[in-house]
């Protein structure tokens, strides 16, 4: 266990049709294997939060982000991450296009509407984030 909390970023990526981009976590992930999630990850030392968000989106789906807006909410409930204390800072953003390049962390990607997401189990507390944003 670390002696400090980690800072996470969550990309709430929407398209013009109001759908939300989710990625399917690889089955070999130690945490929430095979579940769908927002594009997310940890800030690295020396990065701004926006730089971390842009890097995570580029690493996971191969896309540049724009119209990045901090939601004004964060998630720091003990136990929201099963192995460490993570304070997450969700941001709404858009992508340049849909030419996705998945990395090894994920096995699927897709745009989902609110009724579809409402029936899904998502990793972490991503469903709560989307509810809090009024998206589902």
Please report the pLDDT score of residue 3 as a whole number.
67
- Both tokens of residue 78? 């003990």
Q: Which tens digits make up the pLDDT trace of 47-87?
A: 999 999 999 999 999 999 999 999 988 887 777 777 778 89
User: Is 80 exceeded by the pLDDT of residue 91?
Assistant: yes
Report the C-alpha dihedral over residues 112, 44, 7, 52, rounded to 10 degrees.
-40
pLDDT tens digits along 99-135:
899 999 999 999 999 999 999 999 999 999 999 999 9
pLDDT for 109 equals: 97
CB atoms within 10 A of CB 85: 15
pLDDT at 2 over 60: no
- Among residues 121, 99, 118, 119, the alpha carbon closest in space to that of 109 is found at 99
Give tens-digit pLDDT for 3-28: 678 899 999 999 999 999 999 999 99
Of 90 and 73, which is predicted with more confidence?
A: 90
Which domains, from first to last, does the chain contain?
A: 6-131 (3.90.79.10)
Longest dimension (CA), the chain: 43
């Amino acid at each position: 266990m670390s002696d400090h909390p980690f800072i996470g970023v969550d990309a709430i990526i929407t398209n013009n049709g109001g759908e939300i981009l989710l990625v399917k976590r690889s089955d070999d992930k130690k945490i929430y294997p095979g579940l769908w999630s927002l594009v997310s990850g940890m800030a690295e030392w020396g990065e701004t939060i926006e730089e971390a968000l842009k890097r995570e989106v580029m690493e996971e789906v191969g896309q540049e982000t724009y119209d990045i807006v901090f939601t004004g909410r964060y998630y720091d409930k003990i136990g929201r991450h099963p192995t460490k204390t993570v304070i997450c800072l969700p941001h709404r953003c858009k992508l340049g296009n849909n030419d996705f390049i998945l990395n090894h962390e994920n096995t699927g990607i897709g745009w989902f509407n609110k009724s579809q997401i409402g029936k899904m189990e998502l990793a972490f507390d991503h469903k709560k984030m989307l509810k809090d944003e009024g998206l589902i």
